Amino acid sequence: MAVRRPPRSRDAGEATGAIDYDRAVSAELARQMRRMGIADERVLDAMAQVPRHLFVPEELRQEADADRALPIGCGQTISQPYVVAFMTQQLALTGDERVLEIGTGSGYQTAILALLAREVFSVEIVPALAARARDALVERLGLGNVRLRLGDGSRGWPEEAPFDRILVSAAAEQIPAALVSQLRPGGMLIAPVGPQDEGQELTLVVKGNDGANEVRPILPVRFVPLTGPG
């Protein structure tokens, strides 16, 4: 299934030259991901379509094409592009899935998922980040298949469960049982797992039809912690 194309950014007065530049930067970022081993063509196409600079603070936009995490305020970061691409690739999205994302953050990962899945449900606990992400995703990119919620991501989105895929972009010492319970049998969850002071392992969970889940660590990572209210 083809990758959806987001509408052009709705910035008023945006020049054609600036749009072409943004597309060139995104395309180069996708080529960089290919050189680093990302092989899913749909993921690469989505990376080429989403302008990462829309999701970082104004003063850091010249660094948006760098393959590294960047601060976005409130003690949070926008993930390294390779990690975004790698996590997305592990979910093997075909375009028909309902995806739950825990930790909207900047909204960049959300936008990538929105181009690859049928629906994306994303939960963010920090009000300022949730508001900024909504502006980028809905007002500027016009993504109509994204639903956003302000709240505790460790609780998931139970009234919309079950989900085909769940992506968690903040680290917990253990995978929250509430999230696994909201995963459809045969579905997949990917999350960084482990203590903050030791780093984490990106972990893939495949929910078994018989109640037995396959749990597989796949990559050392370091993420900000998954936090609850208060």
Give per-residue pLDDT as tens, 174-209: 988 999 999 999 999 999 998 877 778 999 999 998
- 9 as an active site residue: the answer is no
Return the minimum-mean-pLDDT range out of 71-75, 101-105, 155-159, 226-230: 226-230
Give the CATH number for residue 113.
Answer: 3.40.50.150
Domain for residue 51, yes or no?
no
Confidence (pLDDT) at 1: 59
Total structural domains within the chain: 1
Domain for residue 181, yes or no?
yes
% of the chain residues with pLDDT over 70: 89
Q: 55-70, pLDDT tens digit by residue? A: 998 898 888 888 999 9
Domain for residue 49, yes or no?
no
Domain membership of residue 134 as a residue range: 69-221
Confidence (pLDDT) at 92: 97
Domain for residue 47, yes or no?
no
User: Within 10 A of 18 (CB to CB), how many other CB atoms are there?
Assistant: 12
Q: 136-153, pLDDT tens digit by residue? A: 999 999 999 999 999 999
Say if CB 172 and CB 225 are below 8 A apart: yes
Three-class DSSP category at 177? helix
Say if CB 71 and CB 77 are below 8 A apart: yes
Domain for residue 227, yes or no?
no
Domain for residue 230, yes or no?
no
Domain for residue 83, yes or no?
yes
Q: Compute CA distances 128 → 99, 108, 142, 154, 170, whole Å.
A: 23, 15, 20, 19, 17
Q: What is the CA radius of gyration of the chain?
A: 17
Q: By CB neighbour count within 10 A (0-12 exposed, 13-18 middle, 19+ buried), where does 96 fall?
A: exposed
Segment 105-111 shows an average pLDDT of 97
Q: Compute CA distances 17 → 46, 51, 75, 79, 199, whole Å.
A: 21, 14, 34, 27, 42
Segment 86-93 shows an average pLDDT of 97
What is this structure's pTM? 0.89
Segment 114-128 shows an average pLDDT of 97
Q: Which of 79, 106, 154, 169 is catalytic?
A: 79
What b/e readout covers 119-131, taking b as 16+ CB neighbours within 10 angstroms? bbbbbbbbeebbe
